Structure formats: C-alpha cells, structure tokens
Structure 1
Amino acid sequence: MASSLRLLPDSGRASAPSPAAGPSGSAKWAVGGIIGGSAAAGVLAAGSSALALYFARRVITPAKFRDADQEVLAVIPAGRSQHVILAATPETTVDGVYGFFFDGGRGHARIGRILSYSPAERTVLREVEAVYSGDFTTARRGWWSGAAYPDPAAMGLPSEDVLIGVDGGTAPAWLVGAAPASEAAATDVWAIMVHGRGASRQEGLRAVRTARELGMSSLLISYRNDGLAPSASDGRYGLGTTEWRDVDSAIGYALQQGAREVVLFGWSMGGAICLQAADLSRHRQVIRAMVLDAPVINWVDVLAHHAELNRIPSSVGRYGQLMLGHPLGRRLTGLAAPVDLKTMDWVARAVELRTPTLIVHSVDDEYVPYGPSAALAEKNPEMVTFEPFNTARHTKEWNLDPERWERQVTAWLRQQLAPRANPGGLEPAPGDAAPQ
C-alpha cells in the first residue's frame, strides 16, 4: 500500500490515505495544542477511536485497486529479448524471478535475473524473460509480484477450468493433472493451493510443478472476496474464520473426483485459512499434510506489527483489534460476525495442531514476521518443520530460489506421502471425518 498504511499485500499493494493526513490524524495530533482539559481529552479519544476504526476496516476490506508503486525507467531491446531498467527498491534489488503487472493489471511480464545495479543512481537493470500481455515498452509504472506466471499454459502445463460449489454460487479453479505415470507414480492425493490476501490463484502456480512431479493433481482455487469467487454477504475478509469453508468445499470436490487425501498449500493469509480448515473442516481427516509459505500464524502479532509500521500507537492498534472481535464492533466494521483472533493464535494452540506441516518463511519478511512460524515449530516439533529463508521478503521464497524451494518441499513431502502402516489392513472410506 502506498503512503503510510500498509496492510498485508501478497502479490501487490493497494493504496490508502495516510492516517496522519486524514481527519483522524489531525484530530489526534493537532487538537491538543489548541484546547486543553477534558475537552482535549475527549477529542483525542474520538480521534484515536476513528483511527482504530480506520485501521480495523482496512484489515478486513478487500482493496479495489492496486498501487502502481514501481517505476519503469526504460525498456531496452536485447536481441530477441528485452531488458528493463527499474527504480531500485527493496523488492527490485533482490535476485530471482518475479511478475510485473502494468497498465492497471492488464499487462503482465516475467522479470528475471539482475544484470547490473547502481546504488548511486538508484537503478537496477534486469532481464525480461517473457511478456504475457500488454505492451511492456509503453509501461511507466506497475507493481512487483510473486506471481511470475499468468496461468498453467504459460508454464507449459495442461489444465482444466472447473467450478466448485461454494456459499453464494460457484468459484472458478484451475485443475492441473498429475504428471503421466511414466514420469511420476500416480497417487490419489491432490494438492489444493490457497492464495493469500489481495492475491489470486496465480500465486499457487509456483508449487504446481512440485506437486505434479510427486504425482499429485493440483486444484488452484479462488475463494470469497478475491474477485473471482462470489463475495461474502458482508464483503469483508474473515482473515481465515470464514474463508476456510471454501477450502472445505474444494476438498469435497477433490474427493468427488477420486482423491482420497489432500495436501494443502497456503501463502500468507492462505496459511491462516489452511490452519482453520485443518481444525474445522468436515474433511479434516483426509488432510495428509500442509505446506505453508510465510503464513499468518498469529493475527494479533501481525496486526501489532502493522500498527507499528504505520506509527499507530499500540493502544490504538489494540482498540482496532477489539473492534474486529467484539460483537458490537461489527456495526462499525461491517462484519457479519466478529473475528475471533485468539482462536487463530497457533503458537498458543501449538499442541492442537495434529497435521504434519512444513513452514517456509523468510526471516526478513516485512509484512508477516517469521517469529510465530519459528515458535510454532519449536513448540510442536513432532508436527511442524520450519525452513527459514533470507532476503526473500514476503511470500517470495520460491521467487528468490526456485530450486531450493522445490528441493526442500519435495524432500519433505516425499516423507509425508510415503505409504503408511495400517494395522489390521483396514482403510478409511473416502471422505470419512470426525463429526463436527
């Protein structure tokens, strides 16, 4: 997000006015010098309440627009390819492969390795690996993204467009089949990819090759409020407390198509959604494992981090959290039901997590601090494996080093997908699960 309020983007950023520049900021900081006593205290309290409400609403309201915060300085022909000169930022100066969206999102290019970097001029020259849509030579601004590919076809993978029944209608998904039996042993385990807040199903494309080579079909889903699936009745994010139902529907779809078990992949808020599904889904017993990339393990920690980033007093940030969780707060936030942040604190609930889970998380993640991920693995080493990255920033561990990401995830999943001893030779029926 541009200006000073930045709230959990996964593949792009949406803009919001600076709290300090708006009415709430002026009320909070300016009035104290004009009036005193109880009147000033009342105005300050009102200003703090307004800022807390603004903060709370930004967390749960889907952004309508992305902030084109990255400047394109020049696009240079390079034989049959192109190079691009970009303004140097903390994102563009990290090596790897990334997506770049321009022309309001209608254009999409895949940006590759760094060719040169000039700290003095604050510019970076990078290779343009592909332009999927739009005229990149006319691009002047855009946004950096972890979504390097627009669809499975861009990766050379066959896919099918399918619809999954969810609350309010149907949600589109891509179904990418497992590799042929000659390349990988076919299994009846499916991978379900769950993108993060403000992102799309494109985010999960980074894991499809890994799943495919392990013999898994991949279902890259959409869910409520992401612009493809039906919106929730209140038009608000539930931060995982509502979205998990769409993952539950996706698991049901996979079972109907012949899957016996699933592996959930989740990025950022998608990780929080997967954890909720593993806890609450009627199909939770068929969730064989989870691979979570930069997941939200504890929303209280993340929201406190964002309050600090935006120079919002901690007391105001806590008040915003209270608005999200209190039954009366929904009248102000627009939520249909309160969001219980404490039930999504998986550090506190570590021993309750009984699904084998791999967490991949960069220690320099600027949006979702890695501390809770490491703490969850420390508290529940039997179930949770933590693989730290460095310099990847948020949800871009694969982008930084695809080979390492795929190698680590593949090795861990091979262990989880190995045949399990089944005393007595009895097998559960497909879809069996404990009653809710």
Structure 2
Amino acid sequence: MTAFLVLVVVATGFGAWFGSDQGIAVVHYGSSNTRVLAVRGDMVTLERSAQTGKPGTYWLEWGGASSMLGDIVSQDRGGVTRRVLRGQVPSLGTPGWFDNVPPGDPKVAWGIDYSEIMVPTELGPAPAWYVPGRGSTWVVAVHGQNGRRKAQLKILPVVHELGLPFLDISFRNDEGAPPSPDGLLHLGDSEWRDLEAALRHARKMGAQRFILFGTSMGGQIAGQLLARSPLATTVDRVIMDAPMIDVLITGEQGARNHHLPGFVSTLSNLVTEWRTGVDVARLSLIRHPPKIRPPLLLIHTRPDTDHPIEESRGLAAAAGRLGWKIQFEEFAQGQHTEAWNVDRARYDRLVRDFLSRP
C-alpha cells in the first residue's frame, strides 16, 4: 500500500511538472515533419499525417526554399496531394517542414521589401522586421508561445495594401533574442515589456499611434501591455487571433489534451508559479481586464485544442459588462491559429475592414 501511495505521489508530481513545462518551457523546432512522395507538374504529394491532411492553404519549407500549397486535391491512405500556388516545386524525396505559417521573411513570403532592426529591450537587443508605409499609425505584430516572427506574416499583404507601416517583433527566449533570466516563458507576464520596448523604439522612428496584432500567447502579451504600460493610451485598436485569454482555462485544456486528471492542472499552475514567480490567476483578460480597452477584432476557430474557443467566447460575452467594443468572429474549421489557412478570403476581409475604419 505504501509503495502504491508513493507511486501515485510520484506520478502526480511528474504530471504537474510536465503540465507546467507545456506552458513555460522554451522549445525551438526542427526542420522536417514530412517528405515529398511524388511530383507531377505543379502537383506535390506529401506523406499523409495529421498535419498534411488538413484542408486549407499551408506552406512547405526545405533547404532554404519554400512553396505555398493550396487545398487538398486528392488523398489516399499514404499521401496527400496539393497544388503549388507560389514558390518553388520540391523534388521527389525532399524532406520538409509543413506548417501553417509563411516561410522566411517578408520578402521570401510575399515579395515585400523590409529592413531588419534591433529593438533595445531591458535584456538586450531583439530583432524585428520593419516594412515601411504611410502615416504614423503602425501595426505591431507579436507572435505566440514558442512561435516565430514569420507566424505574423499572414496579415502583412492586407496591411501593406492599406499602406500601414508594419513592425513584426521578437521577444525574450526567441531565436536571436536574449533569453529570460530564468530561461523560461512567463505567459505574457514579463514578455509585454519587450512589446513596450518595441513601441518606444517605433516612436523614435516616427510612429505615434499603434494597432496591435497578437496571436496565441501574443494576445495575452498585448493584453498585459494594455493593462500595465503607460503606452497603452497610444493603442488605437487590437486584433487577436486564437488568443490566450485566460491562462487557467488554457491549462485545463492542456490537461485534457494529455489525458490528465483535472486536478493536475491546478498543481501544474502551482508549479508554474513556483518556477517563474508569475501569478497565473492574474493572467485573465476577463477577470482582470486591461485598464485601456480599444476596439478589438477577436478571431478564433471552433476546433482549437490549444486555446479553446470558450476563452474568446467568454471575453466576447463579457464585452458589455467591461465596456469593451469587441467584434467576435468564429471560424467553423481550423486548429490553433488556422483561421487564415481555412478561409483566407474571409480573414483578409475582416482585417481589411477593421483596419480601414476611421
């Protein structure tokens, strides 16, 4: 009996630590998750997997090259065939990385010229991509947990079409950016200061007002800036795509994803607080709304199993009580941050209309 209790305690502790790691461990991704099985003209067949079998528009990267792939043309038990819409056609047998985010930089992804600038943060310089535009209102993009700047490039064609300057930032623990002192993510609780540093640097470059675009944890980062920064008053509007609205709800979803008992989520939060010093319960834009609440375009896919749509629905439902003007748009298909991928036309239209309002 004693041995059984020890086993239960050890297993519970491991589960709590594992759950904590899912939120705060720094991960840099590899270079291959599929292989090209066949090439016929502009038609490419990839190994079938949960990733490559998704409907919509995606990208394949390999050896410094890339292609944008359209929706599924055909599939069988072993392979998925798609048409190359943009970029190079890979060779037979090529191993590549199939993903829902654009490849490379603004020039590689969309043929749009840019410059790389270094933002002076409190921890050291962090790289950012800057695409010039007209006027003094800038769109500033911030990606999510263990993401990369290129994830924010989906919005760039519309922003560039409207002539708005675009700044796509990195923050602590990103590749090329300085690490956090403890080497861990803080779920937006400290990362917002790197976003603030980017806004300060942009002001020195001529920016006066800002539109924030945050995806996943980037939404929480934007929310914490609105809650804590004196520069919050310079933000005119915000776009959030599949945001981390409430860290506690996100943690509960993570426990379900890994088939862990619900109480493990509570223990994982305690471990996270012990490891980082972050008050996890404070990171809720519903229960602890930001003091500045500019108009918000809130986008979320229903099947999202990383940040469940209930987080965004909860914020939208509280909009009246919070005095927050929120336009909430649900997409019926697509996993986490894949609304653009499953319906680019609708996504671009929503963003264009939101950014074009006076």
Aligned residue for 2:293?
354
Counterpart residue type for residue 46 of structure 2: L
Work out which of the residue numbers 273, 291, 307 in structure 2 matches 1:368: 307
> Equivalent residues in 2 for 1:189-268 (5 A)?
189-268=137-216
State which of 67, 83, 98 in structure 2 corresponds to 1:109.
Answer: 67
Give the letter for the 1:344 counterpart: L
1:340 and 2:279 correspond: yes
394, 400, 417: which one aligns with 2:336: 394
Shift of 1:102: 4.3
Residue-by-residue CA offset, 1:136-191 (whole Å, 9 max, x unaligned): 53324x4432222321112121111111101222111111012xxxxxxx321000
Distance 1:352 1:373 in 2: 18
Q: Secondary structure at the match of 1:388?
A: strand
Any gaps of 5 or more consecutive residues in structure 1? 1-35, 179-185, 419-436
Deviation digits for residues 70-100 of structure 1 (CA, Å, limit 9, x no counterpart): x33513130xxx3221234444333332122
Distance 1:67 1:369 in 2: 28
In the alignment, structure 1 residue 272 sits paired with structure 2 residue 220: yes
Encode CA deviations 1:324-363: one digit per residue, 9 max, x unaligned: 12xxx22xxxx3xx12121111122358562211111111
Identify which range, 217-226 or 59-68, moves more after superposition. Answer: 59-68
State the partner residue of 1:385. 327
**Alignment RMSD, CA only?**
2.1
State whether structure 2 residue 105 is matched by structure 1 residue 151.
Answer: yes
Higher mean C-alpha displacement, 203-212 vs 88-97? 88-97
1:66-215 to 2 correspondence within 5 Å? 66=30, 68-69=32-33, 71-78=34-41, 82-102=42-62, 108-118=66-76, 121-131=77-87, 136-140=91-95, 142-154=96-108, 155-178=110-133, 186-215=134-163
User: Normalising to structure 2: TM-score of the pair?
Assistant: 0.92
Q: In structure 2, do the counterparts of structure 1 residues 210 and 282 end up closer, same or farther at CA, with 3 Å as the change threshold?
A: same
Which ranges in structure 2 are unaligned for 5 or more consecutive residues?
none
Note the C-alpha offset of 1:284. 0.8
Q: Please state how far the C-alpha of 1:292 moved relative to its aligned partner.
A: 0.6
- Which structure would you say has the larger Rg? 1
Q: Secondary structure at the match of 2:68?
A: strand
- Judge conservation of contact 2:226–2:290 (CA < 8 Å) in 1: no
1: CA distance, partners of 2:289 / 2:302: 20
Residue type of the alignment partner of 2:356: R
> Are the equivalent residues in 1 in contact too, given 2:31–2:62 (CA < 8 A)?
no
Cα offset for 1:193?
0.7
TM-score, length-scaled by structure 1? 0.76
2:248 is equivalent to residue 307 of structure 1 = no
Shift of 1:378: 1.5
Q: Distance in 2 between matches of 1:361 and 1:41?
A: 42
Contact 1:351 1:380 in 2 (8 A): no
What amino acid does structure 1 have at the position aligned with 2:56?
A: G
SS of the residue aligned with 1:137? coil
Q: What letter corresponds to residue 348 of structure 2 in structure 1? A: E
Offset of 1:244 from its aligned partner? 0.5
Equivalent-residue separation in structure 1 for 2:303 and 2:22 (angstroms): 24
